Structure 1
């Protein structure tokens, strides 16, 4: 008679840990709805009697089965040892979120009809917009439920992750052992402990997240004594950091020294005499400049005065010339009248002689 324990699972280990790398799962899940929408649109492009909504249900079942079947086929390759593994399987088992688009592309290509191939060749805006709109429709209606997507991607991930880098393979005899394990599993979901951060991820990703978390307090990059939030480091270093490099307040008068902001008082007190000399030289140069400006101003005033005198002389000369011309015109007018008088007198003499 068979042992009941041997008829359940693997040697009775029928309580399985289903935890997976949350980051990888999210990346894979995000690809499913766009893939379903694209396949549905491509398969009905140009069909007057069918639209993507009429085939989406069957397409989801077919897409899910296709990806699971392909991942199982790849998994069987691993039984032959490392030397027999294809590049595709290596990619699938090491970079599953990058491998899944390959499966999706193969499936979508197999569903294209003739018109889809043609429109795909020309990349028509209408076709791409239709795919985008149908994707949004499926997401809005939550057509592919999160639980379904999780189950699909989890199955695919377990098939191709032969090294168990992205999922937990542990199984247990009793549920309490499984419960105890899940509280310690490296793929359990944890929250970031940095104040202000609401990110959640698998425990295996703690160090990776901590190295980029914008809310993480880290030592100042300019080596001041403060711990600063990573996202505010640039602002801290360029504004309030006591180790920020600044120019001497007397830079404009000649001191070109740069130093940490916290050293300002020490620098100014230590170089007081030097700064006074710089200021004195500037004052001397300014005095010389003022004297030069006074001389220039006096010269301009003289030039202006001469121009005014010259202008006055020019007006007087013009007036005299105008008067002379007027006198000449008056004389010509008088001479003209005298000639007219003589002409009339001659005309009268001729008439009287006749």
Structure 2
């Protein structure tokens, strides 16, 4: 992908930069490998005399030729044809990965045998497993080299990238000027500068990568004075950061303040008397609670004793009540006798004429 390309031009600008967006090219190479695996599996479904490996060599060549031809044809039709083809080319130029996927889908459909169409194999788990296994096999055996796939991906990308969004169209009249340009080209390959990161990418993705690189050193999100790698930020903020918010150690006894852990000593010093008061109040409540529990225990013990003596207490109470009622009756009888005596005396006095 980094080879200098010499082209023949009447204007004398014979050296073309030829660099492409590495991220887009890499995505397209993965699509190519998966497309080959799908076409090879679907074309040999149920065929005991053929396997995906046995047809993959010819399928690879056919697939590459098909994709390049379709791309060239689209460009030709867009230039010499109607408005519809121009719109298709502009769409392909905007989303080249989707364009490549659509072309591969068309190719795969054309290679499916009859059994694949009628057996329900297209939606089966078995098919997906075979495709995944065949991809792994091709990768292990380096069946379709990365350089080979990149060459096809770049050819397709350059042919449809009308706005030069994903490749550099610059041309120069000398090789030295081209080399100088390529050292600054936005599509040149660069390495991440963050210590520990091994990622490489086109220069136009530096900011994008830097915004997500896990090895990027950043100021603490909680505004302490430390610099922390992005991948360690969460742990730092949740554990050792001096600006981590914590509850007062006396929270359970009443202090509801929260503050950065770096000011813990100052807080405890400033609110010493308040904390002592909280502890005193807690001790008082605990003493009251202990006394209350002791009283409850005493009542329970007393209730248990009363239950044990309930029978005897009931007889004694009944006896006392009976005696009280007998005393009342006796007193009433005495009063009645007194009244009877008075009545009798009045009768005698009336009879004798004294009244």
TM-score normalised by the chain length of structure 2:
0.78
Does residue 1:66 correspond to 2:66, yes or no? yes
Measured in 2, the distance between the counterparts of 1:302 and 1:168 equals 99
The SS at the match of 2:259 is strand
Match of 1:91 in 2: 91
2:78–2:86 CA contact under 8 A, matched in 1: no
Q: 1:257 to 1:208 in 2, by over 3 A?
A: same
Deviation at 1:32, TM superposition (A): 1.4
Q: 1:80 to 1:259 in 2, by over 3 A?
A: farther
Q: 1:81 to 1:280 in 2, by over 3 A?
A: farther
The SS at the match of 1:13 is coil
Match of 2:172 in 1: 172
Deviation at 1:109, TM superposition (A): 0.9
Q: 1:218 to 1:178 in 2, by over 3 A?
A: same
Match of 1:197 in 2: 197
Deviation at 1:114, TM superposition (A): 1.6
TM-score normalised by the chain length of structure 1:
0.78
Measured in 2, the distance between the counterparts of 1:61 and 1:180 equals 36
Deviation at 1:234, TM superposition (A): 1.0
Does residue 1:31 correspond to 2:31, yes or no? yes
Report matched runs for 1:143-154 at 5 Å: 143-154=143-154
Match of 1:283 in 2: 283
2:246–2:260 CA contact under 8 A, matched in 1: yes
Report matched runs for 1:187-336 at 5 Å: 187-302=187-302
Match of 1:162 in 2: 162
Deviation at 1:303, TM superposition (A): 5.5
Deviation at 1:83, TM superposition (A): 7.0
- For structure 1, the residue ranges without an aligned partner over 5 or more in a row are 1-6, 311-354
Measured in 2, the distance between the counterparts of 1:271 and 1:204 equals 56
2:19–2:168 CA contact under 8 A, matched in 1: yes
Q: 1:138 to 1:62 in 2, by over 3 A?
A: same
Match of 2:41 in 1: 41
- Number of residues of Structure 1 aligned to a counterpart in Structure 2: 305
Match of 1:128 in 2: 128
Question: How much is the aligned-residue C-alpha RMSD, in angstroms?
Answer: 2.6
Measured in 2, the distance between the counterparts of 1:262 and 1:295 equals 47
What do residues 24-46 of structure 1 show as CA deviations (whole Å, max 9, x unaligned)?
11111111122112112222223
Deviation at 1:281, TM superposition (A): 0.8
Report matched runs for 1:80-119 at 5 Å: 88-119=88-119
What do residues 39-78 of structure 1 show as CA deviations (whole Å, max 9, x unaligned)?
1222222334333233222211111111112222333455
What do residues 173-216 of structure 1 show as CA deviations (whole Å, max 9, x unaligned)?
22222222221111111111111111111111100001111111
The SS at the match of 1:246 is strand
Q: 1:239 to 1:81 in 2, by over 3 A?
A: farther
Deviation at 1:81, TM superposition (A): 11
1:189–1:202 CA contact under 8 A, matched in 2: yes
Measured in 1, the distance between the counterparts of 2:185 and 2:308 equals 100
Match of 1:141 in 2: 141
Q: 1:168 to 1:120 in 2, by over 3 A?
A: farther
What do residues 151-175 of structure 1 show as CA deviations (whole Å, max 9, x unaligned)?
1001011011111111111222222
What do residues 131-156 of structure 1 show as CA deviations (whole Å, max 9, x unaligned)?
22322222221111122111100101
What do residues 53-108 of structure 1 show as CA deviations (whole Å, max 9, x unaligned)?
33222211111111112222333455479976655433321222232211111110
Q: 1:159 to 1:44 in 2, by over 3 A?
A: same
The SS at the match of 1:190 is strand
2:121–2:127 CA contact under 8 A, matched in 1: no
Measured in 2, the distance between the counterparts of 1:82 and 1:225 equals 63
Q: 1:78 to 1:233 in 2, by over 3 A?
A: farther
Q: 1:70 to 1:116 in 2, by over 3 A?
A: same
